[in-house]
Amino acid sequence: MKHTQTTPKASRHLQTLSNHYIFNNMSTVAKNFRIDSELNDEATALLEGLGLSMSQAVSMFLRQVVLHRGLPFKVEYPKYHKELAESIEEAKRLEADPQTKRYTDMNEMWADLDE
């Protein structure tokens, strides 16, 4: 997971903008929702790096929902199932590893796989 860190000046600017556009002159409503604790920790760290609180980020998301009249992104299954994606990554690692046995004879390969 890539983490983008902003400079303190950029972070303060984002904070000011979000406070101005999201929270100025509006009444608020308290909402409670449950999310996975690991997701919460990862998102909180990323958002703090951007100078945003979870509440501000959720407000920004909901503003985009209203502006787009729906979700502001595509919701779809990943291109590959998790197991296939993991197998592809394993194959790439094996191919890059000079210690991986190479075959020129298919019968020998199949015999090794059957062991």
Structural contact between residues 11 and 21, judged by C-beta atoms closer than 8 angstroms: no
Residue-level pLDDT at 24: 61
pLDDT-wise least confident of 3-7, 10-14, 31-35, 43-47: 3-7
Residue-level pLDDT at 82: 84
Backbone angles phi, psi at 91, to 5 degrees: -65, -40
Asked whether residue 84 carries a pLDDT value surpassing 60, the answer given is yes
Q: Per-residue pLDDT tens for 6-19? A: 566 666 666 666 66
Write down the mean pLDDT value for the chain: 84
Residue-level pLDDT at 78: 74
Buried b (16+ CB within 10 A) or exposed e, 8-37: eeebeeeeeebeeebeeeeeeeeeeeeeee
Asked whether residue 64 carries a pLDDT value surpassing 60, the answer given is yes
